[in-house]
Structure 1
Amino acid sequence: MDLQDQLKNLFPDHTPEETPSNTDDSSDIWMQDEPIICKYEKRKGKPTTILEGYTGATEDFKQLAKEIKTALSVGGSFKDDKIIIQGDYRDKIMSILKNKGFKVKRVGG
């Protein structure tokens, strides 16, 4: 007998409410009017993709950085209100951000 059965025995008249599952994480992140700038640079001879221009809370931007890094399976960091991703992933990052509802502007190359 599992926990659900025990609860049904204790409270026979109770019908459990379904909890709404929040599969869309973009509702947690603040959207902005200005586009996020996605640019390409070489640092120490290695390609990097830099995202800047987010005007919301830094915790939201850190969460967005983590989601992008896990989606692309790459390394990166968050410094000085910029997301730095290792490698040239501008097209993939821009499509991820557009799917989340952000406006994105490509700069450089």
Structure 2
Amino acid sequence: MGITDLNDAQLKAVSYTDGPLLILALTFSEKAAAEMQELESNHVETYPDIEKIRDFVLGLTPAEAREIGIKYRSTLRKLKDRLREGDFKLGTKEMRKVLEKMSL
């Protein structure tokens, strides 16, 4: 049996008896599955620019912070202290307000 006897849908693996040549090919359904997997794996994740956020928050005045929704100066102070130390989380209520303001 040679390659010419098989069409692409039937061709999976054909080996020749007169040599060590091995030809591998995918069936149509396997090709489609491989293409779909490739398309699904092209997911792009976006991350916030930490330095930009840091600079924005460190430059906030208490009046600007109140406009964002951070009520108290002490809250702003704690937020700035955490940013300076590098120990902050983007999921806190105050940081969500900052990120929302920055996205506008």
Q: TM-score range by the shorter chain?
A: under 0.3
State TM-score, norm by structure 2.
0.24
In the superposition, the TM-score normalised over structure 1's length comes to 0.23
* Greater relative CO, 1 or 2 (CA 8 Å, sep 6+): 1
More helix by percentage? 2
